[in-house]
């Protein structure tokens, strides 16, 4: 269903990650999870600026990067639209895996781990699991 997408960018000024890259990463995550689909319109630079109080040029830089990667296209006077998705059907369709991961995350939190601890642990396991799958 093409239309205006319900994606809201969250900027973490303490993350050490450039603001425009946070927008790029969050857009890619939304594409992988099926939150954004081909034909959806990204929020305008003005809408992002109003919601996040960042410089409009930062938003435009992020959108240009996404366009360079072939993920979105700017249509003069209309906005920026999603061209293609990054997700596989399995990511959006597998409610069981999502529920298991949600349960695991809640158990980790109950055990006293904070978000950074959980992220580090998950990334370590992920890297170990997929070791050798990429040449980079």
pTM as predicted: 0.71
Strand (E) or helix (H) holding 132: none
Per-residue pLDDT of the chain (136 residues; tens, 9 = 90+): 455 556 889 999 898 999 999 999 999 999 988 889 999 999 999 999 999 999 999 999 999 999 999 999 999 999 999 999 887 666 656 677 778 888 999 999 999 999 889 988 888 888 888 887 654 4
Compute the distance between CA of residue 71 and CA of residue 85 in angstroms, rounded to an integer.
Answer: 7
The alpha carbon of residue 105 and the mean position of all alpha carbons in its chain are separated, in whole angstroms, by 19
Compute the distance between CA of residue 57 and CA of residue 54 in angstroms, rounded to an integer.
Answer: 9
- The whole-number pLDDT of residue 90 equals 60
- The whole-number pLDDT of residue 32 equals 87
Q: For residue 108, give Cα distances in angstroms to 6, 33, 105.
A: 29, 23, 5
């Amino acid at each position: 269903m093409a239309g205006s997408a319900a994606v809201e960018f969250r900027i973490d000024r303490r993350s050490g990650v450039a603001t425009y890259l946070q927008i790029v990463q969050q857009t890619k995550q939304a594409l992988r999870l099926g939150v954004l689909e081909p034909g959806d319109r990204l929020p305008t630079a003005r809408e992002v600026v109003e919601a996040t109080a960042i410089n409009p040029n930062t938003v435009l830089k992020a959108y240009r990067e996404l366009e360079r990667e072939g993920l979105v296209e700017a249509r003069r006077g209309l906005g920026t639209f999603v061209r293609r998705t990054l997700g596989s059907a399995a990511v959006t369709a597998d409610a069981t895996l999502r529920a298991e991961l949600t349960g695991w995350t809640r158990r980790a939190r109950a055990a006293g781990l904070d978000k950074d601890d959980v992220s580090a642990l998950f990334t370590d396991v992920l890297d170990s699991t997929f070791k050798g799958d990429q040449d980079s």
